[in-house]
Structure 1
Amino acid sequence: MDIIKAEIARKRKLLEEKQLVDDKKKFFKRGDLIAKNNEEILQKQGYKKPESSEADQSIHEGYNFTGEGQNILPRNEVIRRLRERGEPILLFGETESMAFSRLRQCEISQPEANRGFRNDFQEAMEQVDQAYLQEMFANTSTTKEEKKNEFAELDETVDWESIKEMSQKMGRNNKEYDMDVIMTLLTYLLKLWNDQIAGYSKQEKMSTKVKMTRVIYTQTKEYVKPLFRKLKNRSLSDDILESLTDICKHLLNRNYIQASDAYLEMAIGNAPWPIGVTM
């Protein structure tokens, strides 16, 4: 009981220091406590409350989010960040400096959990647009050389049947050999995908369908880089290697349903979860 009483007294002392409760005021609003905590955090970070009249404070209520020695962002950057968050770029009666302060307040107070995937997709779209512009203005020989260098590690004699023949020796406790076959198969599939995209005409590349295909291809290349790195360094864990071996065997035998089942078993195991939980 003494511990509980001491904890209650400590918390009450903190509330009194924040001027939320006193002898006359027994209760407080949780919003006031949050506001006080935010105020302390902002003061520690060097932000100052603007000194203005009470009339101005009713309009400009809040903190000046331009700390000492900190410059205001360019207007186009402020607009871009506000639009990313779904915020209006300028409210009625709001100045550009006030809009910047509102942006800074949003960046501090609002979570950014939903921005990751959207930014990855936007980055991939920008890469596709940039690649298309380079194809338009670059020489054909240069473009071919870049595509050739991208898959320079893959032997030109490698084809589907040769990889299928190599897979016959997989799963015999030779981890390095299994990793080589997996890396060869994945590189070959990426090369086929790249060749298919490169084979489209200029008019087809302008279509939404082909553009989305190129975006997915660009994202896939980025996402498999850690896997390729582990395969090259021979640092892939045994359980993942075993599952990838089964997936590759099913793919080479064109048993795509079994390959999908092997992937799901690797991803979520045999737990009876709905698939939507892990997507």
Structure 2
Amino acid sequence: MDFASLMSKEIAKSKPPAKQSSQTEQNQQYVRRSELETARVAAEQMQRGRDYKENEKSARELGLSVTPAEENGESGKEQTPLEGEEIVGQEEVVEKLRSLGEPIRLFGESDKGRLKRYRRLVQRSATPQKQLSDGPIPTTLELLPEAEMKVPDKVPEDEEGKKYLFRQLASYFTMVLKEWEIALSKRDDSVKSTFQGRQAYNAMVQSRDNMKPLFKKFENADVEEGILGPIVEIVRNAQNRRYVDANDGYLRLSIGKAAWPIGVTMVGIHERSAREKLHEGGQDKAHIMSDEITRKFLQSIKRCLTFAQVRWPPDDQLQLMG
């Protein structure tokens, strides 16, 4: 071995391993968050174990019975039924859930959770629910007989009067839709299977579905004043079998008296007349252009008028719509 190799070997022995020392120093300076979390959880478990043992020891010294805690962490106090609640066994709970048409156990449900679910169902069934009417459009409004459907000339100003008016309107449209459905069902099968027959039935179903938002407005008593008055006028004229006047009210309600209700004012180079009145409100407003829901139930009202003049023809033939 030459002198150079001996010197390099001695120098390498004298130098400390820099990489090792830097890694050790880094491990001493930084600790991973997962290690801290593991240490914290272990310390909490040890503390809970010590507290439980101390409480158990104190209870035994005082001569008290030790009740094991629930696995889900709920105390035994919460298991005690409240005043007025019946104490039901598990077998009885299963039988009563079956009688209610409910599953006897949900996925991952404990016996206590099943008992709570049964008590919620019993409480819900004891609470009086609003009954829905058995008509083309189920509603919570109490429908009136035909003799009491006559709407007034003007919209009442008091709340009770408006609520009764909404019941009258809902009752009238329910009667028209029901008669419409009966008339279509009485047709021959050969007529029902034709294109015109299917189209007539689809028009009835579409009108019935489109009027559901209007019935919701009747139930909540939140029909806009600009729409309620014209609807009352339409229904009043229809009840008097003045269908041309009812159609005029529908046109005023849907299209309005606006100069250009569809909003096309500048198709050419010249400005059209009364353009400044386009966005004015009031009776000139075109409600059929407000939103899609309004447009649909207004169109359904027009279809109800078309059927009503066939089902209840007017005495004056001039009141027949074209």
Band of TM-score, shorter chain: 0.3 to 0.5
Provide TM-score, normalisation by structure 1: 0.40
Provide TM-score, normalisation by structure 2: 0.35
Q: Which has the higher helix share?
A: 1
